[in-house]
Amino acid sequence: MVSTDSYIRMPLEVTDGTFYMVRLPTSETIHQDEDTAIDFLNQHAEDADPESDAVSVVKVSVEGEDWTIAEMSWQSIALQLMGGN
């Protein structure tokens, strides 16, 4: 078992109550905005199985007591990677 004491803990400042989680087979990371999340996915997903459900970008929005958690569509991710919006 890996001790969490060995990790550097840094707070993530969330603007507009939204952050993104990139899920890969070997890790999950949190990002402040969509662009950095997709850039991270692009740089670290080369060994991932494209058919795997373990690869995704999840948008988390918090407004007061309400949380919205939604997986980004692959079409949106592909458009961003191709330079569209």
Residue 75: is it exposed, middle or buried by C-beta count within 10 angstroms (0-12/13-18/19+)? exposed
Structural domain of 50: 13-81
Number of domains in the chain: 1
Per-residue pLDDT of the chain in tens (85 residues, 90 and over written 9): 444 555 567 777 888 899 999 999 888 999 999 999 999 999 988 877 777 778 899 999 999 999 999 999 988 888 988 885 5
Which pLDDT does position 8 carry in this prediction?
A: 63
Query: How far is Cα 84 from Cα 17, in angstroms, rounded to an integer?
Result: 24
User: Does the residue 6 lie in any domain?
Assistant: no
Q: Which residues have CB under 8 Å from 17's CB, separation 6+? A: 61, 62, 63
pTM as predicted: 0.79
Judge whether 8 lies within some domain: no
Residue at 65 is within a domain: yes
Residue 4: what pLDDT?
52
